[in-house]
């Protein structure tokens, strides 16, 4: 079961998660990160690294963000892989 990046990542885009991913499944656009569900091995290493709690297992995605499952799948096909930490876009939310 792949992991899904959801709405809290938009305009924050912390990249701590990409540094712990063993399979480089994260992709980056201008406002957020997404996970390629075909590459994700469901290890869960990324979840505790996200300071805005934007990453969920597919089965645990809150109902209001279910559309992000398809968004991650679709966008990951067209965006570049990101494997290194970058400066975030916005302030940390806790």
Domain at 71, CATH number: 3.30.70.20
87 is a domain residue = no
Q: Which domain holds residue 50?
A: 3-76
81 is a domain residue = no
21 three-state secondary structure: coil
| pTM to 2 decimal places | 0.92
27-46 residue pLDDT tens: 999 999 999 999 999 999 99
86 is a domain residue = no
91, pLDDT greater than 90: no
Check if the beta carbon of residue 32 is closer than 8 Å to that of residue 14.
Answer: no
Check if the beta carbon of residue 43 is closer than 8 Å to that of residue 14.
Answer: no
How confident is the prediction for the chain on average, in pLDDT? 94
37 is a domain residue = yes
């Amino acid at each position: 079961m792949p992991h899904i990046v959801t709405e809290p990542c938009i305009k924050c885009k912390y990249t701590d998660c990409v540094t712990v991913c063993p399979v480089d499944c994260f992709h980056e656009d201008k406002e957020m990160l997404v996970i390629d569900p075909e590459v994700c091995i469901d290890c869960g290493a990324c979840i505790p690294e996200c300071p805005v709690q934007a990453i969920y297992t597919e089965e645990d995605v809150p109902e209001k963000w279910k559309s992000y499952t398809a968004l991650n799948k679709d966008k990951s096909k067209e965006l570049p892989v990101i494997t290194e930490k970058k400066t975030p876009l916005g302030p940390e939310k806790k």
